[in-house]
Structure 1
Amino acid sequence: MFLPTYRILRQYNKQINSFRKKSVSSSNGSESPLDGIRIIDLTRIIAGPFCTMVLSDLGAEVIKVEQPNHGDPCRKWGPFINNTHESCYFISINRNKKSMCVDLKHPEGKNILLELARKSDVLIENYVPGKLDELHLGYKDFKKVAPHLIYCSVTGFGPKGPYRDRPGYDVIASSMGGLIHSTGALDGEPVKVGVAITDITTGLYAHGAIMAALFKRTRTGRGQKIDCNLLSTQLATLINLGSNYLNVGKESKRWGTAHESIVPYESFPTKDGYFTVGAGSDAQFTDFCKRINHPELSQNSKYSTNELRVRNRQELEPLLRSIMKMKSNEEWNKIFLGASFPYGPVNTLKAAFEDEHIKAINLVKTLDHPVAGKIKVVGPPVTYNEGGNYVKSPPPVLGQHTNEILTDLLNLGEDHIEDLRKRNIVQ
């Protein structure tokens, strides 16, 4: 894998750091919520990196510690940008971070990490439970040298129970946690969600837990251990489906895009695609029927209430499909303009990113990457009126900031660092 040397990147890093400082005060002179917070990121793939990206958007300095010569495995997951080895996958969840390569199995590598912990606020890792304890880099080891440190573990199944030692991936947790069983066409095969949604929601739970622990530390001065896992997150996010089973023993089933409790609430085929409509109240259904030029449907005694529409869905839904099929998505968009009910086309990614609303809110950001050139990322979806979320720098090249961190934070001399490099302890 081609990588610029750390010497070539020094000037680039200085420019990025200068931009970081400017962006901090770019909104009414206010700082971001997590300015001054430093996070050691030992995570890979999605859940952990997504969590630390959210925290980095909020101002935290995130140091991504990677394995020399290899790095995060998703660096190798294509497609790649502009004929480089820079992965779209990696770029999607690693902006605003610094990359430092350290061999954690080497005693000197461990010491570097322990020293870094003394000057950091949070450590987040996603190793199988017990793996870092074997390396003497578990919570107890860090607590001895940095009792203020908040240590967050993100795993597949948590530190307890018969599955604790099993590796966990999104598709496994969503399989075992009931999501895939509930997703797919009516009477069809189970279907995986298009993105790793269980990883993402676990990362969001971890982000919230870390924020809460930081807030508690302002009162106690102490750090603590946090455990988040994919399977527990998946069950927690079943919401009404989980409640239905737990309280009345009702098993879930696949509904495609439809809703078992609301009719109409699904994607209907049109002349040129699919269009989604949801009528959550009887008044909304009446408005919908008027706009599709069939007001008699809302007056029909079989469909006058949502309870009746659900009961008679097998008769009503085919009628609505035949009506919606008569016009294009663009035509339905114009007909439904100003409607009381929610609606929208089923967009391709091209249509989604070219939507006038997405362009108007400037959600997509363009960054200068030191290797890949111009890259685009989806910015933070949350805004603050005083400070908050900023896309400050592109995802780092592997080992891009090793020298900076060893020099500026740990006060190591150039000769010492060069010796560590020659022995492959750092990169």
Structure 2
Amino acid sequence: MEENATDGLPLAGVTVVELCHSVAGPYAGSILADLGADVIKVEAPGTGDYARDWGPPFAHGTSTLFHVLNHNKRGLALDLRDRVTCERLLGFILDHADVVLQNMRPGAIDKLGLGAAALRARKPALITCDLGAYGRSGPLKDRPGYDPLMQAHGGIMSVTGIEGGEPVRVGVSIVDQGAGMWAAMGILAALNKRHVTGQGSHVSTSLFETAIAWMSPHIGGYLSGGAMRRPLGSGVTEIVPHQAFPTSDGYIMVAAGNDNLFRALCGAIGHDFAADARFATNSNRVENRRTLIPLLEDIFRVHASAEWQSRLDAAGVPAAPIENVAQVLASPQTAALGILQQAPDLDLTLAGLPLEFDGVRPRYRHSAPALGQHNDLLSEPIAPEKAAS
């Protein structure tokens, strides 16, 4: 990997030390790495990050999830319980790091002498980011946590799935990845603040706070005197119709998000429900959801999904097929975006960052590090994006 691989990327020249495992923290680090930061991941020797073994599937001896979350990074394997090793890492941070990102169990980072207060007392320009489970305060602040626990405890499961069915977890790690995104945004904001003031910051976020943030529309509605939100399958609380409908050969997702689109939908299906006062406005349709949806379901069952897609496209009504991973990967739209990126050093393809800068997507520069691959960083002068061979 050439030394100037990050030239032109927004975070080129920024060094991040990541003391993270599992999903949320490494996802934050992966965002920063894709944006050009030199992210140096610290793992325990022996087994390393738990996510290395979270499979199958595996690619090149490591779980594909680990590759997803840790490509474009360099890696150290350090026993931080050893005082000399911890001091070497501390020296590296004080000499080179702009950011320290960690998601260790509550209190663990402070016992190592690498907590935010200790580090920033010696380097005020440093940005530290703690990504925890339940947050910095409160009766649960010392508890560990994982994505499904927070989907449950944060209320997300209460509005997911089908009414009367068993609890359903959102199929992607929405809390973990959301917390990683908040951590990355907080770090970016802190870097901007430092650019203006010269001072670092202590950024903190958590899985529980992220779950609450995802639930903010439901919380706002409930606190405004609304009814308790219930799971609506593919539907949403505030808009009708805005859900999947069964067709003769599958399902199609329809999003008639305003009254004009609903009238267009009525034209496309040949039934003027908009003339009925019960369905004339969105608020009326929401109130009469249980009446309108079965009527629409009966109509959509008559034709195949492709036929409905053609009709709705012609009418200007937003609609989409419900596709699996293989279908998404085969989509001409996916290909046109160039978001699937081939590793330059392995037979491996991953989804890239969902951002472009001046029409260019940050590239897949190198694969996730082998355990301890770059341990020589603690004995040599740092050279950002040194060849990751």
**TM-score bucket (shorter structure):** over 0.9
Indicate if the aligned counterparts of 2:106 and 2:144 stay in contact, CA closer than 8 A: no
Indicate if the aligned counterparts of 1:206 and 1:228 stay in contact, CA closer than 8 A: yes
CA deviation profile, 1:356-410 (whole Å, cap 9, x unmatched)? 11111111111144xxx31111111111117773322122221122225532329
Q: Does 1:395 align with 2:372?
A: no
Whichever residue aligns with residue 400 of structure 1, its letter is: Q
Distance 1:387 1:289 in 2: 41
Counterpart selection for 2:232 from 255, 258, 271: 255
Distance 2:377 2:149 in 1: 39
Whichever residue aligns with residue 131 of structure 1, its letter is: A
Distance 1:184 1:406 in 2: 53
Distance 2:112 2:77 in 1: 17
Distance 2:194 2:26 in 1: 23
CA deviation profile, 1:253-273 (whole Å, cap 9, x unmatched)? 111111222211111112222
Whichever residue aligns with residue 77 of structure 2, its letter is: C
Structure ranking higher on relative contact order (CA contacts 8 Å, 6+ apart):
1
Deviation at 1:234, TM superposition (A): 1.1
Q: Does 1:345 align with 2:318?
A: no
Deviation at 1:135, TM superposition (A): 2.0
Q: TM-score, normalised by structure 1?
A: 0.85
Instruction: Indicate how the Cα distance of structure 1 residues 143 and 303 shifts in structure 2: closer, same or farther if over 3 A, else same.
Output: closer
Instruction: Indicate how the Cα distance of structure 1 residues 363 and 338 shifts in structure 2: closer, same or farther if over 3 A, else same.
Output: farther
Whichever residue aligns with residue 25 of structure 2, its letter is: G
Distance 2:291 2:91 in 1: 68
CA deviation profile, 1:120-175 (whole Å, cap 9, x unmatched)? 10000001221111222222332243322111000001221111110011111121
Distance 1:208 1:388 in 2: 18
CA deviation profile, 1:268-311 (whole Å, cap 9, x unmatched)? 1122221100111121111112222x233233343222233223
Distance 1:45 1:204 in 2: 15
Deviation at 1:96, TM superposition (A): 0.6
Q: Does 1:281 align with 2:258?
A: yes
Partner residue in 2 for 1:374: 347
Q: TM-score, normalised by structure 2?
A: 0.93
Distance 1:247 1:282 in 2: 24
Counterpart selection for 2:199 from 219, 222, 229: 222
Indicate if the aligned counterparts of 2:21 and 2:49 stay in contact, CA closer than 8 A: yes
RMSD: 1.9
Deviation at 1:105, TM superposition (A): 0.6
Whichever residue aligns with residue 156 of structure 1, its letter is: A
Distance 1:311 1:344 in 2: 25
Instruction: Indicate how the Cα distance of structure 1 residues 315 and 387 shifts in structure 2: closer, same or farther if over 3 A, else same.
Output: closer
Instruction: Name the SS for the 1:408 alignment partner.
Output: coil
Partner residue in 2 for 1:62: 39
Distance 1:325 1:249 in 2: 33
Instruction: Name the SS for the 1:180 alignment partner.
Output: helix
Distance 1:350 1:225 in 2: 42
Distance 1:32 1:51 in 2: 17
Distance 1:356 1:299 in 2: 39
Indicate if the aligned counterparts of 2:133 and 2:206 stay in contact, CA closer than 8 A: yes
Distance 2:333 2:16 in 1: 34
Tell me the number of residue pairs that the alignment of Structure 1 and Structure 2 aligns.
382
Instruction: Name the SS for the 1:337 alignment partner.
Output: helix
Deviation at 1:110, TM superposition (A): 0.6
Indicate if the aligned counterparts of 1:117 and 1:146 stay in contact, CA closer than 8 A: no
Instruction: Name the SS for the 2:56 alignment partner.
Output: coil
- Structure 2 regions of 5+ residues with no counterpart? 384-389
Indicate if the aligned counterparts of 1:42 and 1:64 stay in contact, CA closer than 8 A: yes
Counterpart selection for 2:57 from 80, 85, 88: 80
Instruction: Name the SS for the 1:248 alignment partner.
Output: coil
Q: Does 1:269 align with 2:242?
A: no
Partner residue in 2 for 1:305: 281
CA deviation profile, 1:202-232 (whole Å, cap 9, x unmatched)? 1111111101111111233222211111111
Distance 2:280 2:164 in 1: 28
Instruction: Indicate how the Cα distance of structure 1 residues 311 and 138 shifts in structure 2: closer, same or farther if over 3 A, else same.
Output: closer
Partner residue in 1 for 2:387: none
- Structure 1 regions of 5+ residues with no counterpart? 1-15, 26-30, 411-427
Partner residue in 1 for 2:113: 136
Partner residue in 2 for 1:324: 300
Distance 2:273 2:119 in 1: 66
Q: Alignment identity in percent?
A: 33
Partner residue in 2 for 1:46: 23
Deviation at 1:333, TM superposition (A): 2.2
CA deviation profile, 1:289-340 (whole Å, cap 9, x unmatched)? 2222x23323334322223322322222112112212222222222222443
Instruction: Name the SS for the 1:407 alignment partner.
Output: coil
Q: Does 1:236 align with 2:209?
A: no
Q: Does 1:176 align with 2:153?
A: yes
Deviation at 1:177, TM superposition (A): 1.0
